[in-house]
Structure 1
Amino acid sequence: MSGMLAPEVLVLGASGRVGSGVVAALLEAGSPVLAVARDASRLERLAAMHADEPGLEVMVASVSDDGAAAELARRVSRRPRGLRGVVDATAGVRRTSRLLDQPAPVLTASFEQEVLPHLAAARHLLPLLKRRGGDRYLLAGGPHARCGWAGYGHASVAIAASRMLVQVLHEEAQPLGVRVQMLSIDAPVWTPDNTGRACAGWHGTLGIGRAMVSLLATSSPDARSIVSYADTAGERPPGMLGRDFAAVLDAASGTPGPGWAA
């Protein structure tokens, strides 16, 4: 029966601002989702928001270091579904301060929270993704990686390092047949929680999620390592992942659809 299951997309940081939008867009497109986050209560709220979606499963786990990422990879490897893709929507804690006002270890901490978890996740999930049939590994990039973010200098430097990390991983993953890309989100993200201080030009979470779905789609021609969210327009993808899911359901009911191979 496991061969009849549609492959899922693993979303890291699924209960966060960007991650929750990615989960919603994937479900909208008809894709099964494995939503991973560290906070069990926030994952429960995410599951409650999509209580009518049978394709959503949640898992409490972390990629904060190599050990945690390796354990996550082991747990995912035991799952019955294949793995279509990975979306890393994790982000470090971003506190406002001037670089010149803080000692050097504060910048070190920013790297440890913002950059190193991306590397730990990629080290253990990229090989697993290839073994389980997937070929897309996406990361969400924060704003102002190429110019300073006023008051958030530590975050700007760390986000810029994450951008370079993706460009290196993009090259190193090519022999695996996996495309690594970053969706560069060039402005803060609007949510119902920050409506009172949101400004014009902030991005909605569902639009970002739909842009991620577009990059995950098999038909996507974009091979750049860094893709600006502004280039994608956040338009609703036309059932890109749903076609695969529908084929599996047709086969399970004994009426194989186009493109289904037993």
Structure 2
Amino acid sequence: MNDPDHDARRTLSRRVARRLTGMVRVAPILRSDARFHVSIAFDDCPETAATRGVELVAKFSAQATFFIATGLLGQDGVSGPITTAPRLRALADQGHEIALHTHSHRDLTHLSIAEAIEDIDTNINVLQDILGAQPSPHFAYPFGETTLPLKRALLPHVTTARGVRGGVNRAFADRMQLFACDLGSHRPDYVAAAHRLIEHAANSGGWLILFTHDVTENPSPYGVTPAILERLLQDAVSRGAELRPVAEVWSQLSEPHL
């Protein structure tokens, strides 16, 4: 029989741990950049992201970042059918960034550190076989979940790691838990929240990562409609945003003269 008090305590403990993990920076970004950067990212890469999402990004002469969990390729996911290896190769040929999202797409907080790193290594190896080249060394946590020990352990393995906490990345943000903006219809206020973050980053500079999953007229709880995505990208561009994949923005932020 379930103990409601125990379940409540466990839920509260997990929330506190998640908050504390986000507060501790293990690898702070040390430089500021007055420019306004926006990266558009698609997690898992449902087929609609590889088709309709790419079409919308192309309207702005930009490329996207695709965080790929290789074990999901060709499967039916919660955000629709997931793309296939040939499509990934085509996306890479078009200049899009193919990045890391583990192989199994499991919550890494339920694995040991060794198991989590092994899962990411498998992700890297499978993507390398698919692409015939090394994938991007940038990573997104499945479900946005991580721990302080895991953030530290990943430092030798990935260049950045993106979470799901809302915010703009600038000096002293943690590159092992980058802020992002969730474009998921499960959040009733997500469109207004995205516009606020775009305005904030445009006014004060910084790097905003907009991420979603499927792009369709009837999105899953984790996706967005084409009209909303286009409107948000247009808002960012009209405010002076430079639309770049994650690796390109990181390269600019890492330049010695910044």
TM-score, normalisation: structure 1: 0.35
Higher relative contact order (CA 8 A, sep 6+): 2
